[in-house]
Amino acid sequence: MSNNKVIQTSYQIPKTTKSLEYKALSNCVKSLGLAKIQPHIFICADQTIANCCSKRASLESWEYLKKRLQEFKLPKLQESHPICVFKTKANCLQVYCSRPIMVVYRDGVWYRQANPEVIEQLVQEHSIGNKVIEKYAFLTHPLPETSLVSCEHLIEA
Ligand code: FES
């Protein structure tokens, strides 16, 4: 399912959006390495209404994920590792059971029971090794190989 090749992603911010917004968005794409993100990890955490686990447990998982990605220096592009790993607290992913729920795109792998122990495996095996942790994965729904982001709505704004 997963492979180690870096996916080429195109992005377009229409130049007709000649405003500061265009510059700001372009800078963000470059400085954050948005076009190089792979994978992007979402986890239900800090929920408005805690459904699948307690808010405390979800925040423990979130903090662990943040800490380990920092320790591996994965949020930043590096010559030795030309991808970056993004993470996002997703409030509730609407699964409502099997505490906390985590989904990893672009592979589209949904994990259950994402406690610190599972997150450790995820960071080492999935984020770095590109290997799905079968024991905790309950759905795989990958995104297409490439995507083109169009910001046409910015022109109308
Ligand atoms: S709170 Fe975890 S899926 Fe909703």
- Cα distance between residue 13 and residue 140, in whole Å: 31
What separation in Å is there between the alpha carbon of 10 and the centre of ligand 1?
32
Instruction: Quickly name the fold that domain 10-156 has.
Output: Glutaredoxin (3.40.30)
Residue spans per domain, the chain: 10-156
Of 20, 19, 35, the C-alpha closest to 149 is: 35
Q: Which of ligand 1's atoms lies nearest the C-alpha of 99?
A: 2
What separation in Å is there between the alpha carbon of 91 and the centre of ligand 1?
7
What separation in Å is there between the alpha carbon of 92 and the centre of ligand 1?
4
What separation in Å is there between the alpha carbon of 2 and the centre of ligand 1?
26
- Ligand 1: list residues with CB < 6 Å: 44, 47, 50-52, 92-96, 100-101
Q: Which of ligand 1's atoms lies nearest the C-alpha of 95?
A: 3
Cis peptide leading into residue 142 (ω within 30°): no
Task: Write the residue with the smallest CA distance to atom 2 of ligand 1.
Answer: 52
63: left (phi over 0), alpha (psi -120 to 50) or beta: alpha
Report the pLDDT value the prediction gives residue 154, as an integer from 0 to 100. Answer: 42
Report the pLDDT value the prediction gives residue 153, as an integer from 0 to 100. Answer: 45
Report the pLDDT value the prediction gives residue 3, as an integer from 0 to 100. Answer: 45
Report the pLDDT value the prediction gives residue 141, as an integer from 0 to 100. Answer: 92
Positions in the chain short of pLDDT 50: 1-6, 151-157
Cα-based distances in Å from 121 to 115, 126, 127: 10, 7, 9
Task: Tell me, yes or no, if the pTM score tops 0.85.
Answer: no
